[in-house]
Amino acid sequence: MDFNLGPEELEFVRQVRAFLDAQAARPDAEEVMAPDRDAHSQLADSPERRAFNKRMAAMGYLGMSWPAKYGGQEREGIYEYLLNEELALRGMPLIGKGVGCVGKTIIRHGSDEMKAEFLPKILAADVEFALGYSEPSAGSDLAALKLKAVREGSEWVLNGQKVFSTSAHFADWYWVAARTDPDAPKHKGISVFLIPMDHPGLTVHEIKTMGHHRTNQVFFDNVRVPEGALVGEVNKGWTYVCEALDFERFTFYTVNPLLRKFERLLEAIRVAKREGRPLVEDPAVRRDAARIATEVEAAKMLQRLVVSEASKGRVPALEAAMYKVFSTRLGQQITDYALDVLGPAGVLRHGAEDAVDGGVWEHFYQTTPLDTIGGGSSEVQKNIIARRGLGLPLS
Ligand SMILES: Cc1cc2nc3c(=O)[nH]c(=O)nc-3n(C[C@H](O)[C@H](O)[C@H](O)COP(=O)(O)OP(=O)(O)OC[C@H]3O[C@@H](n4cnc5c(N)ncnc54)[C@H](O)[C@@H]3O)c2cc1C
């Protein structure tokens, strides 16, 4: 049994680190890297971040697992996961939406015109996407979505609303799931469309979330798109959405930010004092740090299980659910613990005098709950474990 990476994978990580070290030495690095503002950094836009994505493209880091026929390198998915681990550690934008969800679905199901239009732009980092799945009454139960798409001649007309479309305020294209057959069973009447974000009839409104990052609601008012905007076949959208989630499941759930959070906790308790004595001398603090260290190691091993399953070509749905529910809860527990032991200074914000570690714990306190919701809530992950892992019936 070997839990370690192989020589080729280690060499790849070494190359990525060298590239990212060079990026960190650039004068605009602050605009691209935000290790302690992880949610903000990954979900925001700026000319510097777009330029960084272009440099990633020039290094050949986009589309690594795509077929050579479409400009890819036919490498295993683990390299995309390893790249995301290094990006996540430094708070840089992760790869995924374009090369993963959109690109891989177009490769498998898109028309030749769609392939010719989008695949080269994705590989060159010339295009940003927003994903429009969730609606006010369709989140965990996504197949209940109601955004209506009706065929009129050679066009589709879309009316309705999406919610939590992250990046919609700066993306170029919108990848949208809509109901095209209201009479079919709910999973069988959904189709996917690709629509320019500045299309007439689309309106984007800001939703402010905890942790100061922005997501959006998007309204469709008679949005008329040509037939070519339909991805693949009509009413096959649910299959495409599930496939795309399967592709992404292991590349998105990185463990490095959790390891870094724990390191920060250790740094904080090493320097902080209570009643004149260093916190680390308190036996209760040492005991708790040891307990958390054990759980962090367990999270690391669960993540390795996800990667190991995916590397064997299997869909690690059960392992990813276990890892997500465990690691996101642990992220919250580490944050809560830090706030408990650091006392009042721990809750001071970035910029406040006396804020511990630049106010990072207050920031984590606001952002960690989002991790337990985005990409499928903890309750939904537990349902997956109960059904797929334990074979328990649906209640
Ligand atoms: C930071 C962030 C970014 C996001 N980005 C996007 C995006 O770009 N595009 C997009 O389409 N969506 C996005 N989402 C939306 C996300 O996918 C949904 O929030 C998530 O799927 C939960 O859906 P909901 O908010 O409608 O909650 P609901 O599904 O209404 O759930 C409410 C509560 O009920 C629980 N619950 C629901 N069903 C069950 C069940 N069967 N058993 C037990 N408990 C249950 C849930 O766990 C939750 O606690 C984002 C969310 C976040 C937080």
The pLDDT profile of the chain, 395 residues, written as one tens digit per residue, is: 777 889 999 999 999 999 999 999 999 988 888 755 544 445 678 889 899 999 999 999 999 999 999 999 999 888 999 999 999 888 888 888 899 899 999 999 999 999 999 999 999 999 999 999 999 999 999 999 999 999 999 999 999 999 999 999 999 999 999 999 999 999 999 999 999 999 999 999 999 888 777 899 999 999 999 999 999 999 999 999 988 877 666 677 789 999 999 999 999 999 988 888 989 999 999 999 999 999 999 999 999 998 888 878 788 889 999 999 999 999 999 999 999 999 888 899 888 888 888 888 998 999 899 889 988 899 999 999 999 999 999 76
- Tell whether ligand 1 has an atom less than 6 A from the beta carbon of residue 215: yes
Hey, whose CA ends up nearest to atom 20 of ligand 1? Answer: 139
Q: Where are the beta strands (DSSP E) in 140-198?
A: 148-152, 155-163, 173-179, 190-196
Instruction: Tell me the CATH architecture of domain 130-241.
Output: Beta Barrel (2.40)
User: Would the CB of 383 count as within 6 Å of ligand 1?
Assistant: yes
Tokens found for residue 280: 């680390």
- Cβ(372) – ligand 1 distance below 6 Å: no
Report the residue count for the chain: 395
Q: Is the CB of 368 under 6 A from ligand 1?
A: no
Evaluate: CB of 165 within 6 angstroms of ligand 1: yes
Say if CB 289 and CB 265 are below 8 A apart: yes
Distance (angstroms) between ligand 1 centre and the Cα of 53 equals 28
Asked if 199 and 219 touch (Cβ cutoff 8 Å), the reply is no
321 CA distance to ligand 1 centroid (A)?
A: 15
Cα 107 to ligand 1 centroid, rounded to whole Å: 28
From the DSSP assignment, how many helices (H) and strands (E) are in the chain? 13, 10
pLDDT, position 229: 98
- The residue written with tokens 């209506």 in the block is 148
d(CA 380, CA 395): 13
Please give the distance, rounded to the nearest whole angstrom, from the Cα atom of residue 191 to the centre of ligand 1: 20
CA of 61 to the centre of ligand 1 (A): 30
Domain boundaries, the chain: 7-95, 130-241, 253-389
Which residues are paired to 156 by β-bridges?
151, 225
Distance 277 CA to ligand 1 centre (A): 44
Distance 206 CA to ligand 1 centre (A): 18
The reply to whether ligand 1 has any atom less than 6 angstroms from the CB of 335 is: no
Tokens of 109: 């199901």
**What distance in Å separates the CA atoms of residue 28 and residue 88, rounded to the nearest whole number?**
18
pLDDT of residue 13: 97
Task: Name the CATH code of domain 7-95 (choices 3.80.10, 3.40.50, 3.30.70, 1.10.540).
Answer: 1.10.540
Distance CA(254)–CA(86), nearest Å, equals 9
232 — alpha (psi -120 to 50), left (phi > 0) or beta?
Answer: left
Looking at residue 349, its pLDDT comes to: 87
134 CB less than 6 Å from ligand 1? yes
192's tokens? 């996917």
User: From CA 75, how far away is CA 67, in angstroms rounded?
Assistant: 9
CB of 217 within 6 A of ligand 1: the answer is no
The pLDDT score that the predictor gives to residue 38 is: 44
Task: Read off the pTM.
Answer: 0.92
Report whether residue 211 contacts ligand 1, using a CB cutoff of 6 Å.
no
Mutate to test the pocket of ligand 1, among 140, 170, 192 (most ligand atoms within 8 A of CB): 140
Q: Which two tokens stand for residue 323?
A: 């890892």
In whole angstroms, give the CA distance from residue 325 to residue 256.
16
Helical segments of 25-145, H only: 29-32, 38-43, 47-58, 78-89, 103-109, 112-123
- The number of C-alpha atoms within 13 Å of 54 and in the hemisphere containing its C-beta is 8
Range 265-275 burial, b when 16+ CB lie within 10 A, else e: beebbeebeee
> Does the beta carbon of 369 lie inside 6 Å of ligand 1?
no
The rounded Å distance from CA 148 to ligand 1 centre is 21
Closest of 132, 138, 60 to residue 99, by C-alpha: 60
Tell me the CATH number of domain 253-389, given options 3.30.70.2740, 3.30.70.141, 1.20.140.10, 3.90.1150.10. Answer: 1.20.140.10
Helix ranges, 146-229 (H): none
Q: Is 374 in the pocket of ligand 1 (CB under 6 A)?
A: yes
Helix (H) or strand (E) holding 153: none
